[in-house]
């Protein structure tokens, strides 16, 4: 397939990270969780004084090394920049938007869909958000198992573990969002339909 230009990649990174940050905003507004390092950061933000953006970037940082070793320097740098942009956007969205009325079901679905769309855009432009995204991309690249399937398995494991800290109702609503996120990835990022060489 024809490669995206560098300009297209950077526009996509800005678009994808903005969408992910919007999804974060909906989930955080309703005190919901999700899977992966995003879920860990959302959970930690409820029990610490550190900002969600800071926690998210710190949780993702160790995975940028895996991205570099498996997919090369460009992919690792793109992923680190994407993670940093999501962190900055997430911590400053309150300056331009606020929710007066919060429906947790809507926030769960909207948050999951927005995050899934943002991740999909990043994956198709040789980037990721670090964290378990890199591991899922590695599994898809190595074994041909779609990103959505492995991400869903990891997400459910994290959400089930979160039962120790939050209510079952919160977990149930969070699972709805995680399913929405992973459906976007599972249906639109199958290795047999769309091929991206992350190392170039």
Q: What is the pLDDT of residues 77-136, one digit of tens each?
A: 999 999 999 999 999 999 999 988 899 999 999 999 999 999 999 989 989 888 887 888
More confident residue, 141 or 25: 25
d(C-alpha 54, C-alpha 51), whole Å: 5
CA–CA distance from 178 to each of 15, 73, 113, 123 (Å)? 21, 30, 9, 18
Domain boundaries defined on the chain? 6-188
pTM above 0.75, yes or no: yes
Average per-residue pLDDT for the chain: 88
DSSP state of 3: P
pLDDT band at 152 (very low <50, low <70, confident <90, very high): confident
Q: Is the dihedral of CA 19, 24, 30, 35 positive or negative?
A: positive
Mean pLDDT throughout 61-81? Answer: 90
Decide: residue 19, CB within 10 A, 0-12 exposed, 13-18 middle, 19+ buried.
buried
């Amino acid at each position: 397939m024809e490669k995206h230009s560098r300009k297209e990649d950077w526009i996509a990174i800005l678009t994808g990270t903005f969408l992910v940050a919007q999804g974060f905003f909906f989930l955080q507004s309703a005190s919901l969780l999700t899977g992966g390092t995003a879920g860990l950061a959302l959970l930690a933000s409820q029990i610490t004084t550190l900002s969600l953006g800071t926690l998210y970037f710190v949780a993702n940082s160790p995975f940028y090394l895996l991205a570099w070793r498996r997919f090369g320097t460009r992919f690792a740098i793109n992923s680190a920049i994407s993670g940093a942009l999501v962190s900055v956007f997430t911590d400053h969205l309150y300056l331009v938007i606020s929710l007066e009325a919060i429906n947790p079901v809507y926030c769960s679905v909207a948050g999951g869909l927005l995050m899934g769309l943002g991740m999909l855009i990043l994956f198709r432009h040789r980037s990721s958000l670090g964290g378990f995204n890199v591991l899922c991309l590695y599994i898809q690249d190595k074994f041909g198992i779609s990103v959505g399937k492995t991400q869903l398995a990891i997400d459910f494991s994290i959400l089930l573990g979160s039962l120790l800290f939050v209510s079952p109702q919160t977990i149930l609503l969070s699972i709805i969002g995680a399913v929405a996120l992973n459906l976007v990835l599972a249906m639109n990022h199958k290795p047999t339909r769309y091929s991206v060489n992350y190392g170039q």
